[in-house]
């Protein structure tokens, strides 16, 4: 059910007396456990699942849906000391300023494309035009595709994420670091396709 809205930004509702299309651009955030018992990869507790049980559990999310999720992030449990400590991290205000600047770059890039306001909405041809890569970046992307057999859809989605990482970095060209980071966000593909 989520596939069409995730891909096209519209949803079609069909009933006996006809069908209607509605605009439906949204951000999907979802969470899952690493395995059935929940402890796979845990620093101190042991996972009791067999490898085939882990695989079976992960197969509950379909490949085509996973393909459309751009950022996979593994969240490790947080130790009490880290929770209780004063955080010295970057402030939300500073991050917001960086995101706003990257959004402005994207709006300028998309100004001649109707209905497109950010990298996530760039159609394929425009995406390739705006994603010039350094030779080392291209090499990393090629190697990842040959090794992991990503789909054409995943290719476009990885480029869009890399474009955004480069925008946050204030860089016109996509370099090796931008591509490597974008590929790192596809950890579930790697685990499912090993
Ligand atoms: Zn487990």
Q: Ligand 1 center to residue 47 CA distance, Å?
A: 4
pLDDT of residue 162: 97
CATH of domain 102-194: 1.10.8
Name 11's bridge partners.
22
Q: Ligand 1 center to residue 189 CA distance, Å?
A: 19
Domain boundaries, the chain: 1-30, 102-194
Handedness of CA 133, 179, 121, 193 (dihedral sign): positive
Q: Ligand 1 center to residue 37 CA distance, Å?
A: 4
pLDDT of residue 191: 62
Say how far apart CA 109 and CA 155 lie, in whole Å. Answer: 20
pLDDT of residue 194: 41
Q: Which pLDDT tens digits describe the chain residue by residue (194 residues)?
A: 888 888 888 999 999 999 999 999 899 999 999 999 999 988 889 999 999 999 999 989 888 888 888 999 988 888 777 777 776 788 899 999 999 999 999 999 999 998 888 998 898 889 989 999 999 999 999 999 888 888 888 889 999 999 999 999 999 999 999 999 999 998 887 665 44
Q: Ligand 1 center to residue 104 CA distance, Å?
A: 44
Say how far apart CA 53 and CA 122 lie, in whole Å. Answer: 39
pLDDT of residue 193: 47
Handedness of CA 95, 67, 153, 124 (dihedral sign): negative
Alpha-carbon distances of 163 from 129, 158, 176, 192, rounded to whole Å: 11, 9, 12, 25
For tokens 């695989």, name the residue: 55
Alpha-carbon distances of 135 from 2, 14, 118, 145, rounded to whole Å: 36, 48, 25, 15
Those residues whose beta carbon sits under 5 angstroms from the ion ligand 1 are: 35, 37, 40, 47, 49
pLDDT of residue 63: 83
Q: Ligand 1 center to residue 41 CA distance, Å?
A: 9
């Amino acid at each position: 059910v989520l596939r069409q809205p995730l891909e096209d930004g519209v949803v079609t509702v069909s009933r006996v007396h006809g069908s209607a299309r509605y605009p439906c651009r949204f951000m999907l955030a979802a969470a899952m456990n690493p395995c059935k018992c929940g402890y796979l990869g845990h620093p101190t507790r042991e996972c009791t699942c067999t490898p085939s049980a882990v695989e079976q559990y992960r197969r509950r999310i379909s490949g085509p849906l996973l393909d459309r999720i751009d950022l996979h992030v593994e969240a490790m449990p947080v130790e009490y000391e880290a929770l209780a400590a004063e955080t010295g991290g970057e402030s939300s205000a500073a991050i917001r300023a960086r995101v706003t600047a990257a959004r402005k770059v994207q709006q300028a890039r998309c100004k001649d494309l109707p209905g497109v306001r950010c990298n996530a909405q760039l159609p394929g041809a425009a995406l390739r035009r705006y994603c010039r890569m350094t030779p080392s970046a291209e090499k990393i992307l090629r190697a990842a595709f040959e090794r992991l057999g990503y789909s054409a859809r995943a290719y476009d989605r990885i480029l869009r994420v890399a474009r955004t990482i480069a925008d946050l970095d204030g860089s016109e060209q996509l370099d090796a670091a931008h591509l490597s980071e974008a590929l790192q966000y596809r950890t579930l593909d790697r685990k499912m396709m090993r």
